[in-house]
Amino acid sequence: AKAGRSLHTLSRMTPNVSYSSIRRAAQGELEQEQSTVVAIASVVMPETELRSFIKSHYPTLERAVLDVRGPERGHEESSDDTRSASIVEFLKSEDHAKILILANSRTGTTDEEVARKYGENCLHHFEEIKNSGILRYADGSWFFDGSVGNVSLALARKVLCGLAKEFDVKNDSTEFASFSYLLWESLNLEGIKEIYKTNTQHAKAVYDIAQDPKYQGDILLVLGILQNILKGQEGLA
């Protein structure tokens, strides 16, 4: 297969062949049917190589070899298109997306970090991401700084924070009905400590108000504060 093309990407490019069949074929676990072999070969082989392969193994199909290449036969998918398609497929998968989030940071990520946070059974997902060629390796870590078109994961985080602010129900008939905010930034430990102190002080003040008998009533309010270090130092000194 072409460099950087993962099994998941190959599965996407051969819609009539299941991912499990492609995986078993790659591992040599069973002999594949003619239709499966030809479908995979038509994607991973240049046309001249495909013709030679078909002529050697399936000579009765030689005249129809162009038909198996699909409507865009003869045109190689650009590396940018392949890269973007791989990123999209990984972002659709929760197991892959959470690894990309770790890699999309100033320190990147490693096998050890992925195993520690998500378990060793998640390492094969990490290997699929590495094999796709969308990560950058430097100084012992893997970094994800790719994008789909003009949209990067960092930009997507900013969009998510913006959407959270829109959860504020401005047209609710009850005044002060809602308020929302979301922060997703890379900070140093001192900054995290300051936010932690502010949040705990705020939480105590809110709790005191909520428990004051003079404020008890029949309007049900849901309120919470969440602060968690996604990656980096796992505790506050």
Long-range pairs of 185-188 with CB within 8 A, sequence gap ≥ 24: 186/105, 186/106
Which has the closest alpha carbon to 164: 180, 150, 144?
180
Q: Does position 62 have pLDDT exceeding 60, yes or no?
A: no
Q: Per mean pLDDT, which range of 16-20, 92-96, 121-125, 210-214 is the poorest? A: 16-20
pLDDT bin (cut points 50, 70, 90) of residue 95 is confident
Q: Does position 9 have pLDDT exceeding 70, yes or no?
A: no
Q: Does position 32 have pLDDT exceeding 50, yes or no?
A: yes
Q: What is the mean pLDDT of residues 58-74?
A: 50
Cα dist from 178 to 106, 159, 199, 220, whole Å? 34, 20, 18, 12
**Per-residue pLDDT at 206:** 92
Residues of the chain with pLDDT > 90, as a percent, come to 21
Q: What is the DSSP string of the chain?
A: --TT--HHHHHHH-TTS-HHHHHHHHHT-SPPPHHHHHHHHHHHS-HHHHHHHHHHH-GGGGGGGGGGG-TTTT-PPPHHHHHHHHHHHHHHSHHHHHHHHHHSSTT-B-HHHHHHHH-GGGHHHHHHHHHHT-SEEETTEEE---EETTEEHHHHHHHHHHHHHTTS-TT-SSTT------------HHHHHHHHHHHHHHHHHHHHHHH-GGG--S------------SS-SS--
Answer yes or no: are the C-beta atoms of 147 and 156 closer than 8 Å: no
User: For 109-134, how does the pLDDT look when each residue is reduced to its tens digit (9 = 90+)?
Assistant: 999 999 988 899 999 999 989 988 88
Q: Does position 13 have pLDDT exceeding 80, yes or no?
A: no
C-alpha 124/C-alpha 120 separation (Å) is 8
Answer yes or no: are the C-beta atoms of 26 and 107 closer than 8 Å: no
Answer yes or no: are the C-beta atoms of 125 and 113 closer than 8 Å: no
